[in-house]
């Protein structure tokens, strides 16, 4: 664990270098170079992370750099690939959208690139200081991105709401870290695991309070109830590519960090695996959070007339499902979360790609303006339908298998609490199917309005995004074998890390 | 191999249709041809499977077993026993006829056939799966195409819009499915644990293999606790009273080919799930709870029948009649004996064919009259003698006239019920067999009443001048589906052993059956 081992952080170095280069290029007013650096940075960093995974990691190994403050294992690699893929999709999607904006092309890509750096970094952090830095890097970029359309009052409102509540959450997180430092005398996350047994005891209130505050800070990122209030407004107000990035990248980063903290709370990982999760007394709280989150999100989404707002609520619901996976506190549960996020990547980005295209033609996000899309643009309607059905969890799509793994992990846990949570989740599936189908109904069963635009043109990069997302949803839903193995590898690495 | 052909023929057809263009009528004809071709392949393969079935041989035949996600114990496992062969043959006959009946669809033909083939792939998948995961996978997969098929191509059902009808149907079916899923997962974990203890699986290994899970030993407490979860999940789709309200509305709103498939096949998925999982995996739970089911299904039979009597819309009559007939299926299952259960499976087959025929015929005249209300119709037999005759045959079959499969199967169910008694779990009471039997016989009287009344009012009597120019099914391709269905119905009715032997062979090997009273077999 000792030694600097600087080469290990190659993906981050690449990204950081590209951020600086793009910054310089933007200062010179060379927007074209910013675009190139952004593409190169994300592509090279993703490739580097993938190659590191292939070449330097055997099953179950974990490599360290910066004297143990930075770790690389299968968990980190899988998530770096997820984040790299997200950023690539966002860059491809934003080209179409930026062409409709007259300024700030360089800043947009630069901020996206910096947020990606933060996400990559978040996968590898090993102590609370780095956790905070990586999280802030991501969040601050998103503050700016959310308010990117500075002439649009709703975008600015979104930015301000996000800043105020995000700042509050950061304060909670920081306070929590301070408590933990006071209780354990160390900033390292694994120091927490040495005290895991105390978490259930009455005497260790400092420690318990610290963990609670850290979880509050992270729950804000993943938009779990009761820290979800910002989500629909920000989703609606921010520009569509930003919303897409927020709903996938930012949320997944929150889950990466949450998984790491939750793992540490379970105590030193014996090689045999996790200790008996029944000994974890704060589990009821996680179950409560998961249940309320998924009910709030899904019930709230039922009344929405704006598609982006609907997806904002539904993303709260999806955070609830992923929390169910965390509730399971088992390798299977963590693997289910990883798989869920993999499927979510293709699903939610495909949906947002359609939203960007339709919005370009109609200047509207109202669900009513999607009427008759099935007749006007059959391909877009198809991708949107498949995406929404995958979000709802319908086979043979990736979203279904993600949910299936989550339910499997929860039922595996057994006990009244787990079964009740599973039934609440099942009710959530039905509710979510209702509002997703209400959108699908618009697409196919309603006739287009008189002033609806004819066929919407799809530029080449968007076409690539749409086809990749479509293929990704089906592959993850049908040929799940290798991806399950990947997710399990990541979960195993997470569980084994100490 | 044959099971793979049955499953993949419509899937491949569905995939290929995506790449076909729909610009003019010639294209549409090509699309219809491709769809019909793919389901004909399934039809031939399923008949071959039926003829080649080796009674007394291996329990599961035509097995395909491909490892899929080994760490979870998921395998792509297909296979058929006597029960699933009957269901696969039923599905392939109904979809084959449905493809011909769908020729009346003129709008968005390509999308229609894509969804129809996706739907039927799911249905075949359920009947063929020997893997619990894929069983659920295909089950869910069948629901969504239904939503779009009814919502886009359907019609208003009395006071309900088609959007309302299809949403209600989808939500009911999904609710049933996800609740069953929790039960299925519990079975998966419990069964794998039992198999590990018995040394059939490695420690830590798990399996979704229905064949293995069906051999595992589950504690009586587990079976009694989880059987209701699994049962209620599937009972939504049967549909059992009082969970049935989605079904008649859904039937009425759907376009004819979808009504055919829905009433003919989709409703059977529930009963099949109960057999495959409730019975085979949780036998003690089935024996424990089925007495209550016998009581509830009497409500199905009588209530469904009485409501059907009050209906004036032809599709609602058949819709409620379906829910009444599914009551007989549940009654047969609740006897937990060879005769009753075989009768139930045979009735699923017979009712599927009969009701598909009914909806196909209703669709034929509805496309021209745009009304299904019996009071507006009348004397139509003069305009369409062929369709009218087929309708009368259908009504006779449905009312239980000897010579049709419905008679033979209902007889098996009623005799099976007569000879059993139904203990009501938790009360210490037991319902003697004659009580549900009398309900069932009254059900037959009721169904004869509403069917004969419908025939009288719609087809005979003074002819309504509005219907002067109605066209009969004259062309060969228009008559083919009706003739095919009637043929299957009469052949299996006159020679029931052709299919009952296959079904019985499958039923005998269900787990709770051997422990049932021996006299039920005689």
| Segment A416-465, tens digit of pLDDT | 888 899 999 999 999 999 999 999 988 888 888 777 777 888 888 899 99
Q: What one-character DSSP code corresponds to residue A64? A: E
Residue A163 has pLDDT above 70, yes or no: yes
Nearest CB neighbour to A394, from listed B67, B144, B162 = B144
Is the alpha carbon torsion for A442, A445, A449, A454 positive or negative?
positive
Residue A451 inside a domain? The answer is yes
Residue B519: predicted pLDDT: 38
Q: Do B181 and A407 touch (CB under 8 A)?
A: yes
SS3 call for B217: coil
Percentage of residues in chain A having pLDDT higher than 70: 95
CA atoms of B35 and B16, how far apart (whole Å) = 9
CA atoms of B401 and B318, how far apart (whole Å) = 17
Give me the mean pLDDT over the B482-503 stretch.
89
Half-sphere exposure of B103 (CA within 13 A, CB side): 19
- The CA–CA distances, whole Å, from B455 to B187, B311, B490 equal 47, 13, 20
Of A221, A496, A487, which is closest to residue A341 (Cα–Cα)? A487
To the nearest 10°, report the CA torsion of B256, B261, B267, B269.
Answer: -170
Q: Which residues of B touch A394 (CB under 8 A)?
A: 140-141, 143-144
Q: What one-character DSSP code corresponds to residue A9? A: G
Residue A498: predicted pLDDT: 62
268-327 of B, contacting A, C-beta below 8 A: none
Residue B135 contacts A where some CB pair is shorter than 8 Å = no
Tokens of B322: 């379906």
Strands A70-72 and A63-65: antiparallel
Q: Which residues contact A485 (CB under 8 A, 6 or more apart)?
A: B69, B71
CA atoms of B340 and B507, how far apart (whole Å) = 10
Tokens of A104: 């700030």
Give me the mean pLDDT over the A313-318 stretch.
93
- If you measure CA to CA, which chain A residue comes closest to B151? A445
CA atoms of B84 and A238, how far apart (whole Å) = 53
CA atoms of B314 and A46, how far apart (whole Å) = 62
* Distance (Å) from the alpha carbon of B351 to chain A's nearest alpha carbon: 29
Tens of pLDDT, residue by residue over B361-397, are: 888 888 888 888 888 887 888 888 888 899 999 998 8
Residue A93 inside a domain? The answer is no
Residue A200: predicted pLDDT: 64
Q: Where are the alpha helices (H) located in A189-282, listed in sequence order?
A: 189-194, 205-222, 230-237, 240-245, 251-265
Half-sphere exposure of B429 (CA within 13 A, CB side): 5
- If you measure CA to CA, which chain A residue comes closest to B121? A396
Percentage of residues in chain B having pLDDT higher than 70: 98
Residue B141 contacts A where some CB pair is shorter than 8 Å = yes
CA atoms of A276 and B520, how far apart (whole Å) = 50
Residue A482 inside a domain? The answer is yes
| Backbone dihedral angles phi then psi of residue B99, each to the nearest 5 degrees | -65, -40
Residue A349: predicted pLDDT: 93
Q: Which residues contact A47 (CB under 8 A, 6 or more apart)?
A: none
Give me the mean pLDDT over the B122-137 stretch.
92
CA atoms of B234 and B268, how far apart (whole Å) = 10
Q: Which residues of B touch A488 (CB under 8 A)?
A: 71
H-run or E-run covering B241: none
Number of domains observed in the structure of chain A: 1
Strands B74-80 and B61-69: antiparallel
Residue A489 inside a domain? The answer is yes
Residue A379 inside a domain? The answer is yes
Give me the mean pLDDT over the A400-422 stretch.
89
Pick B494 or B467 by higher pLDDT.
B494
Tokens of B385: 């003698």
Q: What angle do CA B87, B91, B92 make, to 5 degrees?
A: 120
Q: Which residues of A touch B138 (CB under 8 A)?
A: 395
CA atoms of B434 and A100, how far apart (whole Å) = 77
Q: Which residues of B touch A404 (CB under 8 A)?
A: 133, 136, 181
Q: Which residues of A touch B70 (CB under 8 A)?
A: 481
Whether the bond between A241 and the residue before it is cis, its omega within 30 degrees of 0, is no
Residue A202: predicted pLDDT: 61
Q: Average pLDDT of chain A?
A: 88
Tokens of A273: 């695996």
Q: List the beta bridge partners of residue B74.
A: B69
Residue A134 has pLDDT above 70, yes or no: yes
CA atoms of A329 and A323, how far apart (whole Å) = 10
Give me the mean pLDDT over the B48-53 stretch.
89
Give me the mean pLDDT over the B294-315 stretch.
87
**Contact of A115 with A137, CB cutoff 8 Å:** yes
Q: Do B151 and A445 touch (CB under 8 A)?
A: yes
CA atoms of A304 and A438, how far apart (whole Å) = 10
Give me the mean pLDDT over the A163-183 stretch.
91
Q: Which residues of A touch B143 (CB under 8 A)?
A: 394
Residue A167 inside a domain? The answer is no
Q: Which residues contact B488 (CB under 8 A, 6 or more apart)?
A: B93, B353, B405
Give me the mean pLDDT over the B161-178 stretch.
88
Nearest CB neighbour to A430, from listed B152, B171, B186 = B171
Give me the mean pLDDT over the A349-377 stretch.
88
* Distance (Å) from the alpha carbon of A339 to chain B's nearest alpha carbon: 13
Treating both helix axes as pointing N-terminal to C-terminal, what angle do A398-413 and A378-392 enclose, rounded to 10 degrees? 0
Residue B376 contacts A where some CB pair is shorter than 8 Å = no
**Contact of B259 with B492, CB cutoff 8 Å:** no
Gyration radius of chain A over CA positions: 21
**Contact of A222 with A255, CB cutoff 8 Å:** yes
To the nearest 10°, report the CA torsion of B152, B157, B161, B163.
Answer: -40
Residue A488 contacts B where some CB pair is shorter than 8 Å = yes
User: Number of Cβ pairs closer than 8 Å across A and B?
Assistant: 82
Cβ atoms within 10 Å, residue B242:
10
Tokens of B117: 């083939």
CA atoms of A207 and A182, how far apart (whole Å) = 8
CA atoms of B252 and B154, how far apart (whole Å) = 8
SS3 call for A69: coil
Of B58, B195, B46, B184, which is closest to residue B123 (Cα–Cα)? B46
Q: List the beta bridge partners of residue B80.
A: B61
Owning domain of residue A316: 275-498
368-387 of A, contacting B, C-beta below 8 A: 374
How large is the ipTM? 0.89
Q: Do A434 and B140 touch (CB under 8 A)?
A: no
SS3 call for B361: helix
CA atoms of A81 and A342, how far apart (whole Å) = 10
Nearest CB neighbour to A444, from listed B148, B175, B178 = B148
Of A370, A359, A340, A350, which is closest to residue A445 (Cα–Cα)? A370
- If you measure CA to CA, which chain A residue comes closest to B142? A395
**Contact of B187 with B213, CB cutoff 8 Å:** yes
SS3 call for A138: helix
Region of B440 on the Ramachandran plot (φ > 0 left; ψ -120 to 50 alpha; else beta): alpha
Residue B516: predicted pLDDT: 45
Whether the bond between B242 and the residue before it is cis, its omega within 30 degrees of 0, is yes
CA atoms of A407 and A423, how far apart (whole Å) = 9
First to last CA, chain A: 12
392-451 of A, contacting B, C-beta below 8 A: 394-396, 400, 404-405, 407-408, 411-412, 414, 419, 422-423, 426, 429-430, 433-434, 437-438, 440-441, 444-445
Q: List the beta bridge partners of residue B209.
A: B131
- The CA–CA distances, whole Å, from B503 to A13, B238, B349, B408, B508 equal 67, 19, 10, 13, 9
Residue A491 inside a domain? The answer is yes
Residue B513: predicted pLDDT: 59
Residue B522 has pLDDT above 50, yes or no: no
Residue A279 has pLDDT above 60, yes or no: no
**Contact of B87 with B349, CB cutoff 8 Å:** yes
H-run or E-run covering A351: helix A331-362
**Contact of A445 with B152, CB cutoff 8 Å:** yes
Interface with chain B: mutation pick from A302, A388, A445, A486, highest number of B CBs within 10 Å? A445
Treating both helix axes as pointing N-terminal to C-terminal, what angle do A378-392 and A460-478 enclose, rounded to 10 degrees? 40
Cβ atoms within 10 Å, residue B392:
17
Residue A280 inside a domain? The answer is yes
Nearest CB neighbour to B189, from listed A405, A411, A444 = A411
Distance of CA A11 to the CA centre of its chain: 19
Q: Which residues of A touch B163 (CB under 8 A)?
A: 441, 445
Interface with chain B: mutation pick from A335, A374, A396, highest number of B CBs within 10 Å? A396
Nearest CB neighbour to A395, from listed B140, B147, B186 = B140
Q: Do A394 and B171 touch (CB under 8 A)?
A: no
Tokens of A274: 């996790």
Q: Average pLDDT of chain B?
A: 86
Pick A169 or A208 by higher pLDDT.
A169
Residue B208 contacts A where some CB pair is shorter than 8 Å = no
Tokens 């629901």: give the residue.
B143
Of B203, B190, B142, which is closest to residue B170 (Cα–Cα)? B142
Residue A269 has pLDDT above 70, yes or no: no
* Distance (Å) from the alpha carbon of A405 to chain B's nearest alpha carbon: 9
H-run or E-run covering B170: helix B162-197
Residue B51 contacts A where some CB pair is shorter than 8 Å = no
Query: pLDDT class for B474, splitting at 50, 70, 90?
Result: confident
SS3 call for B287: helix
Residue A273 has pLDDT above 80, yes or no: no
Nearest CB neighbour to A433, from listed B151, B170, B186 = B170
Q: Do A440 and B138 touch (CB under 8 A)?
A: no
């Amino acid at each position: 664990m000792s030694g600097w081992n600087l080469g290990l952080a190659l993906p981050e170095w690449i990204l950081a270098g590209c951020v600086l280069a793009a910054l310089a290029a933007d200062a010179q007013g060379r927007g074209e170079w910013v675009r190139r650096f952004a593409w190169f940075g994300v592509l090279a960093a993703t490739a580097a992370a993938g190659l590191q995974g292939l070449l330097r990691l055997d099953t179950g190994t974990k490599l360290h750099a910066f004297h143990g403050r930075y770790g690389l294992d299968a968990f980190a690699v899988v998530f770096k690939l997820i984040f790299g893929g997200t950023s690539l999709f966002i860059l491809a999607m934003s080209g179409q959208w930026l062409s409709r904006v007259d300024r700030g092309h360089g800043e947009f890509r630069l901020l996206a690139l910096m947020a990606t750096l933060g996400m990559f970094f978040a996968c590898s952090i090993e102590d609370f200081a780095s956790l905070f830095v990586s999280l802030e890097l991501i969040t601050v970029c998103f503050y700016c991105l959310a308010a990117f359309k500075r002439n649009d009052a709703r975008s600015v409102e979104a930015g301000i709401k996000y800043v105020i509540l995000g700042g509050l959450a950061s304060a909670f997180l920081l306070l929590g870290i301070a408590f933990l430092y006071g209780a354990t005398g160390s900033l390292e996350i694994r120091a927490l695991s040495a005290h895991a047994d105390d978490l259930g005891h009455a005497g260790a209130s400092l420690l318990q309070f610290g963990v609670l505050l850290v979880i509050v800070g992270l729950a804000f990122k993943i938009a779990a109830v009761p820290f979800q209030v910002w989500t629909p407004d920000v989703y609606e107000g921010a520009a569509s590519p930003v919303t897409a990035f927020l709903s996938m990248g930012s949320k997944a980063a929150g889950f990466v960090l949450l998984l790491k903290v939750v793992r540490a709370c379970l105590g030193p990982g014996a090689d045999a695996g996790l200790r008996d999760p029944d000994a974890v007394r704060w589990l009821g709280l996680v179950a409560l959070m998961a249940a309320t989150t998924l009910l709030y999100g899904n019930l709230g989404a039922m009344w929405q007339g704006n598609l982006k707002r609907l997806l904002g609520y539904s993303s709260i619901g999806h955070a609830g499902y992923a929390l169910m996976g965390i509730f399971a506190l088992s390798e299977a549960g963590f693997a289910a979360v990883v798989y869920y996020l993999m499927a979510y990547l293709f699903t939610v980005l495909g949906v947002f790609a359609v939203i960007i295209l339709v919005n370009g033609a109609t200047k509207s996000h109202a669900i009513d303006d999607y009427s008759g899309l099935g007749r006007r643009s059959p391909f877009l309607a198809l991708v949107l339908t498949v995406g929404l059905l995958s979000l709802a969890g319908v086979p043979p799509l990736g979203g279904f298998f993600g949910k299936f793994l989550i339910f499997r992990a929860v039922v595996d846990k057994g006990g009244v609490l787990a079964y009740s949570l599973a039934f609440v989740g099942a009710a959530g599936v039905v509710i979510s199917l209702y509002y997703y189908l209400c959108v699908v109904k618009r697409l196919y069963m309603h006739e287009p309005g008189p002033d609806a635009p004819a066929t919407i043109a799809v530029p080449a990069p968007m076409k690539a995004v749409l086809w990749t997302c479509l293929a990704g949803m089906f592959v993850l839903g049908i040929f799940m074998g290798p991806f399950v193995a990947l997710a399990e590898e990541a979960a195993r690495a997470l569980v084994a890390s100490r | 191999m044959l099971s793979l052909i049955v499953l993949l023929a419509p899937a491949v057809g569905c995939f290929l249709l995506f790449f076909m263009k729909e610009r003019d009528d010639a294209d549409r004809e090509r699309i219809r041809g491709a769809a019909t071709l793919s389901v004909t392949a399934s039809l031939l393969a399923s008949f071959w499977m039926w003829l080649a079935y080796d009674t007394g041989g291996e329990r599961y035949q035509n097995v395909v077993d491909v490892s899929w996600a080994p760490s979870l114990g998921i395998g792509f496992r297909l296979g058929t026993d006597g029960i699933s062969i009957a269901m696969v043959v039923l599905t392939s006959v109904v979809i084959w006829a449905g493809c011909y009946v769908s020729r009346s669809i003129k709008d968005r033909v390509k999308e229609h056939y894509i969804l129809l083939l996706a739907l039927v792939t799911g249905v075949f998948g359920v009947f063929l799966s020997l893997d619990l995961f894929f069983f659920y996978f295909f089950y869910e997969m069948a629901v969504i195409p239904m939503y779009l098929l009814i919502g886009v191509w359907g019609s208003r059902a009395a006071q309900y819009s088609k959007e309302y009808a299809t949403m209600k149907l989808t939500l009911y079916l999904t609710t049933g499915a996800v609740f069953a899923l929790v039960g299925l997962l519990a079975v998966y974990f419990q069964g794998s644990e039992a198999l590990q203890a018995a040394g059939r699986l490695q420690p830590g290994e798990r399996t979704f293999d229905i064949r293995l899970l069906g051999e595992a030993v589950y504690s009586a407490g587990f079976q009694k606790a989880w059987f209701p979860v699994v049962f209620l999940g599937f009972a939504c789709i049967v549909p059992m009273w009082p969970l049935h309200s989605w079904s008649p509305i859904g039937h009425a709103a759907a376009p004819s080919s979808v009504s055919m498939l829905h009433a003919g096949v989709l409703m059977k998925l529930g009963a099949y799930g109960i057999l495959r999982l409730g019975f085979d995996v949780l036998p003690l739970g089935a024996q424990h709870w089925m007495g209550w089911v016998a009581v509830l299904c009497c409500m199905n039979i009588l209530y469904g029948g009485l409501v059907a009597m009050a209906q004036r819309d032809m599709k609602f009559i058949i819709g409620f009649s379906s829910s009444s007939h599914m009551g007989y299926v549940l009654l047969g299952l609740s006897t937990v004996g060879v005769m009753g259960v075989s009768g139930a499976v045979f009735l699923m087959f017979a009712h599927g064919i009969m009701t598909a025929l009914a909806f196909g015929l209703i669709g034929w005249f509805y496309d021209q009259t745009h009304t299904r209300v019996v009071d507006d119709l009348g004397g139509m037999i003069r305009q369409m003698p062929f369709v009218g005759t087929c309708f009368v045959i259908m009504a006779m079959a449905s009312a239980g006239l000897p010579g049709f499969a419905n008679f033979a199967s209902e007889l098996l169910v009623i005799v099976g019920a007569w000879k059993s008694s139904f203990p009501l779990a938790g009360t210490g009471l037991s319902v003697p067999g004659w009580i549900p039997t009398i309900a069932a016989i009254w059900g037959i009287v009721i169904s004869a009443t509403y069917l004969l009344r419908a025939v009288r009012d719609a087809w005979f009597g003074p002819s309504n001048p509005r219907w002067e120019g109605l066209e009969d099914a004259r062309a060969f391709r228009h008559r083919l589906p009706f003739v095919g269905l009637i043929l299957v119905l009469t052949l299996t009715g006159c020679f029931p052993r052709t299919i009952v032997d296959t079904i019985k062979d499958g039923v005998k090997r269900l787990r709770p059956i051997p422990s049932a009273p021996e006299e039920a077999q005689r």
